[in-house]
């Protein structure tokens, strides 16, 4: 996020009141907030040729993404709706998916410019390998103001940590789930 121009399109869209209102209405929330996190609010996700994004959950409950470059083939988004819930990881179901069981897996093939609004905190998801690069802009919003990612997670996802993350480390998550 700190590499995007302050007055550019990505940060402009992220902070635009009408766009925030649209996302909030789609999620049937009354109010959502941009992150205080200086890295995670807007992320350019660049998947090189032949790469994949493995199964994971998102730190934030919702993720809003825009496909800015569609791979030539492949690169489908796969997800397992509500595989876990607050207080229960449902690790047996997770193991089944990791072992290749497909009954809980849904597949979505996104087109260039598609806006995807996805609840990734409880629905495990991945992007399968494709041919050619796949680019997305990812916009993070939170139900509460002041969201900042944890140090360890931030290091894993962004490869670096800023002072704001270290300062916020003492604030534990309230839903009892692992990142």
Which residue in the shown chain puts its C-beta closest to Fe ion?
58
Residue ranges of E strands in 93-166? 106-108, 115-118, 124-127, 130-131, 134-139, 141-142
Q: Does 58 bind Fe ion (CB under 5 A)?
A: yes
Q: Write out the H or E segment, with its range, that includes residue 26.
A: helix 17-26
Interaction mask 82-121, Fe ion, x per CB under 5 A: --------------------------------------x-
Q: By C-beta, is 10 or 127 nearer to Fe ion? A: 127
Q: By C-beta, is 53 or 168 nearer to Fe ion? A: 53
- Which region among 8-16, 41-49, 52-60, 168-176 touches Fe ion (by CB under 5 A)? 52-60
d(CA 53, CA 68): 17
- In DSSP notation, 86-113 reads TTB--HHHHHHHHTT--TT-EEE-PPTT
Pairing of strands 73-74, 115-118: unpaired
- Which region among 2-10, 51-59, 68-76, 147-155 touches Fe ion (by CB under 5 A)? 51-59
Q: Does 37 bind Fe ion (CB under 5 A)?
A: no
Contact set with Fe ion (CB under 5 A)? 58, 120
């Amino acid at each position: 996020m700190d590499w995007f121009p302050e007055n550019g399109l990505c940060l402009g869209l992220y902070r635009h009141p009408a766009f925030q209102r649209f996302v909030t209405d789609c999620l049937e929330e009354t109010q959502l907030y941009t992150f205080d996190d200086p890295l995670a609010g807007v992320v350019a996700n660049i998947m090189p040729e032949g790469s994949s994004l493995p199964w994971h959950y998102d730190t934030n409950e919702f993720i809003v993404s825009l496909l800015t470059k569609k791979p030539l083939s492949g690169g489908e988004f796969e997800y397992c709706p509500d595989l876990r819930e607050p207080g229960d990881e449902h690790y047996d179901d997770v193991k089944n998916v990791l072992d290749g069981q497909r009954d809980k897996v849904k597949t979505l093939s996104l087109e260039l410019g598609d806006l995807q609004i996805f609840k990734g905190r409880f629905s495990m998801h991945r992007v399968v390998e494709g041919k050619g690069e796949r680019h997305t802009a990812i916009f993070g919003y939170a139900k509460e103001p002041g969201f900042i990612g944890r140090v360890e997670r931030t290091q894993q996802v962004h490869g670096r940590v800023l002072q704001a993350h270290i300062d916020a480390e003492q604030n534990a998550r309230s839903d009892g789930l692992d990142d």
